[in-house]
A and B are shown apart, each in its own frame.
Chain A
Amino acid sequence: MDISDWREKIDAVDAQLVEMLNQRARYCIEIGKIKRERNMEIYSPEREAEVLHNVVRANNGPLDNDAIKRLFERIIDESRRTERLAVETESNRDTA
């Protein structure tokens, strides 16, 4: 197998990752809607810690646990933003 072959495999995995990240984001949007209905806080540090704990436990390598945490910190950052936008869009729709 040459570099280009491995890159093809990576491209295939990336496509899956994009779909799965978007799936994850859809769930975040639903949570955002519920939080808005119930007037709850978007930011939930305990849940963020729980997510990181879960992914570390599920980690079998070769990425080390810290690397997994760093990657998921990025994902969590974007989820927070996605939830915020979902809440804001809903409130814009309400006031429109």
Chain B
Amino acid sequence: MVIVMEEGATEEQISRVVDKLMRLGFDIHRSTGVKHTVLGAVGGKIVDTSDLEVLDGVKEVLRISSPYKLASRAFKPEGTQIKIKDVVIGGNQVVMMAGPCTVESREQVEIIAEKVAGCGVRVLRGGAFKPRTSPYSFQGLGEEGLKYLRAAADRQGMLVVSEVMEAAQIPMFIRYVDILQVGARNMQNFNLLKELGRLNKPVLLKRGPAATIEETLLAAEYIMSGGNHEVIICERGIRTFETYTRNTLDISAIPVIKKLSHLPVIADPSHGTGRRDKVPPMARAAVAAGADGLLIEVHHDPDNALCDGAQSLLPEQFKALMDQLKMIAAAISRAMI
């Protein structure tokens, strides 16, 4: 960390900053310049730079290393592989997670599960508690939905990923799902993150629509600092000035996060684009960019879907996409499952 003092900062002000830094466990390298004194602070614990910036005489504080530790690549250079039964996320295989946006009925999820399982998919997604923007939209079937989801997945030998909305739901969720998903708008629900940090089930953390990569990794850090290191990051589109697509799927976030962090990174092209015909190209792009998996919505009757039908792929479209993804994964020496 580098602390730049104001031009004309007094010795007393500088001493006070040095004193504070030493109490935080840093070694100081002082460099008195012609106009500015610069203090190099080495080795202390991670601090909030704004605590130092408010001190008298301090012009700015520059952080050299990242504010997160457990989530950083340096913590685990070989990368994290999350193993659930016989599925490994973060290894050589690119893992498809597909299914309906929402569990609407037992029959609906059974049909879709069978279709995607037929393409070799190992993880079934489905929402039982839906964070709808409007309170008048369908809110999900609740625990009943989780039961249908689990049953359909078990019948096909698949794992289950589903979104948990609040900490109080966690005990119920761990009975039915293999991966607990944190929705984009819950990325900074720190209470929820802390509770998920106490589990030993993997968490799928969606990047918030206006969250920087650093904020996303700090959210992962919250979960990890509770003891749960099995976190999967999901890029699902960010808000930009362009409103043609629902969000802008930030493909570049995939290689960036893979460099900054050891955690697996997947992409959700369904929410990222909001349009059925844009999902396949972005799915292909995400795999080519190095994503460890995809989260894709599939529905056999999307026009009558209760949620996000416009971005759901028909089963035939999904199968065609899987065939293409297998080739793209192979092109970068990986396997699509």
Contact = CB atoms under 8 A, between A and B. Distances in A.
B22 interface: yes
A16 B101 CA distance: 75
Q: Per DSSP, are chain A's interface residues mostly helix, strand or loop, or mixed? A: helix
A76 B39 CA distance: 13
Contacts of A62: none
Interface string B222-249: 0000000000000000000000000000
Interface in A16-58: 42-43, 45, 49
A86 B27 CA distance: 14
B30 interface: yes
Contact of B29 (A43, A49, A69, A77): A77
Contacts, number: 30
B191 interface: no
B11 A80 contact: no
B252 interface: no
Interface residues of B, number: 13
Contacts of A42: 22
Given A69-B32, A73-B32, A49 B11 contact: yes
A43 B22 contact: yes
A76 B14 CA distance: 15
A81 B29 CA distance: 10
Interface in B10-27: 11-12, 14-15, 18-19, 22, 27
B28 A70 contact: no
B5 to A, nearest CB: 14
B53 to A, nearest CB: 21
B31 A70 contact: yes
B18 A73 contact: no
Interface in A45-96: 45, 49, 69-70, 73-74, 76-77, 80-81, 84
A73 B27 CA distance: 13
Nearest to B23: A43
B46 to A, nearest CB: 20
A77 B27 CA distance: 8
A69 B33 CA distance: 11
A62 to B, nearest CB: 20
B32 to A, nearest CB: 6
Nearest to A69: B32
Contacts of A76: 30
Interface of B: 11-12, 14-15, 18-19, 22, 27-32
Interface of A: 42-43, 45, 49, 69-70, 73-74, 76-77, 80-81, 84
7 contacts: A43-B22, A45-B12, A45-B14, A69-B32, A70-B32, A73-B30, A84-B22
